[in-house]
Each structure stands twice: as C-alpha cells, then as structure tokens.
C-alpha cells in the first residue's frame, strides 16, 4: 500500500516506501503524586507521573502552558519562586 500525501498548497505526491502506523486514541493520564491539597511553600516540590512518555506541560491558574519536562514518565522538580498567594496548578500531556 502506498501513501498519497498533500501539502498546504494542495500539491500531492505518492510516497515510494511503505510504513505502518497506528492511532493511539487513549489520552495519557497525568497524576500529581505530591503534594496533595493546599501547601504553604514558595518553592514547592512537585512529583508528577504520566501513563506515557512525552512532554508534560503545566499552567498556573489556567495561564500560558509551560514545558515541565521532556520526556518524562515520573519526575520531581522544584518550581521557581512564586509569590505568596493562592494558585491552582494544572498538568497535561
């Protein structure tokens, strides 16, 4: 089986080699292992694990996504200093 590919300008070409690929329809799971709940620390130590290797992103209070680790399945990092306040931390893959 050959593969017909298109670019953004609608140019097309047949690819000369055969490759097999599969589509992973299961979303990876990201788990915050520690800390749990509310903590009082301006340099919190966060331990996160994932069901798949790859980039883990985080955002604070749904702000801009930032790369937390590349690649990672289980990691533990200190965050840079944050001002004393109340924040929600979100992780995704």
pLDDT in tens, 12-25: 888 777 777 788 88
Q: How many CA atoms lie within 13 A of 92 on its CB side?
A: 9
Check whether 9 has a pLDDT greater than 60: yes
Check whether 88 has a pLDDT greater than 60: yes
Q: What is the pTM of this model?
A: 0.55
Confidence of residue 33 (pLDDT cuts 50, 70, 90): confident
Q: How many CA atoms lie within 13 A of 76 on its CB side?
A: 5
Spatial CA neighbour of 37 closest among 89, 93, 92, 91? 89
69 or 13: which carries more pLDDT confidence? 13
Give whole-number Cα distances, 69 to 36, 54, 64, 83, in Å.
20, 8, 15, 22
Compute and round to an integer the Cα radius of gyration of the chain: 20
Check whether 26 has a pLDDT greater than 80: yes
């Amino acid at each position: 089986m050959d593969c017909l590919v298109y670019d953004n300008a609608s140019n097309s070409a047949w690819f000369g080699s055969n490759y097999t690929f599969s589509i992973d329809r299961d979303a990876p799971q990201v788990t915050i292992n520690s800390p749990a709940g509310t903590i009082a620390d301006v340099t919190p130590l966060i331990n996160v694990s994932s069901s798949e290797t790859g980039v883990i992103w985080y955002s604070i209070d749904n702000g801009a996504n930032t790369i937390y680790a590349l690649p990672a399945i289980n990691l533990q990092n200190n965050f840079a200093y944050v001002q004393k306040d109340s924040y929600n931390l979100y992780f995704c893959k």
